[in-house]
Amino acid sequence: MKNYVLPVLLFILLLAGTAYYLQHDKQASAESGKQEIGIEEHEDDDDELDHDIRQQLVQGNLSVILTTAAQSLAGIKTVPAETMKFENELTTFAMVIDPQNLFDLRYRYVNTLANREVLNTTLANSRQVLDQLNQLNSETTNISKRDLQLARSQFQENKAKKTAFDVELHNIRSQMIQQWNRPLTEMALKENSELFSRLTNKEELLVLMSLYKGQKLADDAAFVFINNNNDRNQARKAYVISPATFSNQTLQGETYFLRTNADKFRVGMRLHVWLPDMRLPKEGIHIPEQAVVWYAGQPWAYVKTEDELFNRHSLLDAVKTDTGWLVKENFSDGDQLVVFGAQTLLSEEFKWAIPDEDDD
């Protein structure tokens, strides 16, 4: 029996060892779930610490810190910010309109006016006849009452006719103002109107310019540029006559009458228009488009504040231009704007938010 003691002891030891091993193994496996399924600790390259030390708070703002080597590796490039004077242009459309209706009205007006002049003479004559007959009747009473009544009625008739002409003239003028606005009406009715004669002679054309809703023409704007194609360089001046009284069929904004040299334009043509943008400031820091990144619903640009420090500045109050943004605040002349690698900096700043693609 004594001989059995050692083997039994050994067996118990062995069982205890196995139990310990299994327990230890279970715990070890739990401590590294990833390791269990095969991903070695060092193979998970996403280095949690590494991006923590690439950020720091500078005056309350979170800055991205990148060594010069990392900047070069990531191809980050900056340019100095510059203040720019800016004259942006808006584009819109215009149409060469047929002024025939204006011509017709003017013709009617002039015609009526001429008729009224003739009538004025007739009225003067009939008044003179009536006056003479009245005098003769009162002095000699040798004229027939009938002649006197006839002359009176002739005079009254002519007077009424004159009133009618006056009314018609007023109506035509009103119609012209209504349809073509006062300045153009005035020009049209003005005797020896140069514009009208140029319009009549087809030396100049009348253009209806329509602005988009929200667009404004400066109060002092005397001219805009127009062309029948999209070539701004070949565009020519068109002079503002007045706000128009009717709208374009397609656009909703304000309309204006313009005049321009006829040359290559014909009635019915649709023209491109360039006019100064009144909404933009005339001066500000220009942020090029490639420097802008969107985050949290607003545009931002990165500025290199020190050799290895980058700060993200908001462009919320900036104004969009054709080539980028114009900003008055948050940026200064000479700021080093990141024009290549802004998205990389954004990624670095929000590296914690980059999901692990394997965990899908």
Partner 1 sequence: MLAALVRFSINFRGVVIGTATLLMIYGLYQLNRAGLDIFPEFSPNLIVVQTEAPGYSTERVEILVTRPIEAALSGLIGIDHVRSESIQGLSIVNVYFEEDTNIFRNRQLISERLSALVDVLPEGVGPASPVPMASSSATILTMGVTSDTKSLMELRSIVDWNLVPTILSVPGVADVNVFGGEIKQLQVQIDKDKLFKYGLGIDEVVTAAKQATGVFGAGFIENTNQRLTLKLNGLPDNKDELAKVVIKHIDGLSLTLGDVATIDYGAEAAFSKGAIMAKEGIVLMVIGQYNANTLTVSNAVEDAISGMDKIFAENDVSFHPGLFRPANYIERSVSSIVGHLLIGGLFVVAVLSIFLFNVRTAFISVLAIPLSLLTAILMLLEMGINLNIMVIGGLAIALGEVVDDAIIDTENIFRRLRQNHLSDNPQPLKDVVFNASMEVRGSVVYASFIVALVFVPLLNLSGITGRLFEPLGLAYILSIMLSLLVALTVTPALCYLLLANSASKADEPFLIRKMQQAYARLLRFIARYPYSIISTSLVLCLLGMSILPGVGGQFIPNLREGHYIVHTSSISGTSLEESIRIGNQLTRRFMDIPGVISVSQWAGRAERGADTFGTHYSEFEVDLKRDLTGSEQQTVLDEIRNILDEFPGLRHEAHNFLSERIYETISGYTAPVVVNIYGNDLDALDRKANEVAQVMREIRGARSVQLQSSTDTPMLSISLDLDKLKQYGLAPVAVANMIKAGFEGQVVGKYQDTNRVHDVVVVLPKPERQNPASVSELPVKVADGLIVPLSELADIRYQNGRYNILHQDGQRVQSITSEVAGRDIVSFMKELESTVLERVQFSAELYPEFTGAAIEQAKAREELIVLSVMMMLVVLMLIFVAIKNFWHVILMLLNFPFALVGGVIAVLLTGSNLSVGSLVGFVTLFGITIRNSIMLVSHYRFLIEEEKLPWNLETVILGAQERLPSILMTALVTSLAMMPIAINSDNPGREIMGPMASIIIGGLVSSTILNLLIMPSIMMKFARFRH
Ranges within 197-226 binding partner 1 (CB under 8 A): 212-213
User: Is 249 among the residues that bind partner 1 (CB under 8 A)?
Assistant: yes
Q: Tell me the C-alpha distance between 355 and 360, whole Å.
A: 9
Which one of residues 159, 182, 216, 351 is an interface residue with partner 1 (CB under 8 A)? Answer: 351
Q: Tell me how far apart the alpha carbons of residues 131 and 283 are, in angstroms, rounded to a whole number.
A: 76
Q: Is 352 in the site for partner 1 (CB under 8 A)?
A: yes
Nearer to partner 1, 14 or 167 (CB): 14
Cβ nearer to partner 1, comparing 57 with 352: 352
The interface with partner 1 within residues 181-200 (CB under 8 A) comprises none
Per CB under 8 A, contacts with partner 1 among 250-269 are 250-252, 268
286-315 residues near partner 1, rule: CB under 8 A: 294-299
Is 232 one of the binding residues for partner 1 (CB under 8 A)?
A: no
Does residue 280 interact with partner 1 by CB under 8 A?
A: no
Tell me how far CA of residue 94 lies from CA of 189, 205, 230, in angstroms.
25, 12, 12
β 309-314/319-320 pair status: unpaired
Distance in Å, CB of 72 to partner 1, minimum: 9
Got the DSSP string for 118-173?
HHHHHHHHHHHHHHHHHHHHHHT--S-HHHHHHHHHHHHHHHHHHHHHHHHHHHHH
- Collect all residues with Cβ–Cβ distance below 8 Å to 39 and sequence separation of at least 6: none
Of the pair 13, 160, the CB lying nearest partner 1 is at: 13
Kindly provide the b/e burial profile for residues 265-296, where b requires at least 16 CB atoms within 10 angstroms of the residue's own CB.
beeeeebbbebebeebeeebbbbeebbbbeee
Footprint (CB under 8 A) of partner 1, residues 68-97: 69-70, 73-75, 91-93
Q: How far is the CB of 27 from partner 1 (least distance, A)?
A: 5
- Applying the rule CB under 8 A, the residues between 1 and 60 that interact with partner 1 are 3-4, 6-7, 10-11, 13-14, 17, 21-22, 24-40, 43-48, 50, 54
- Which residues face 194 on adjacent strands? none
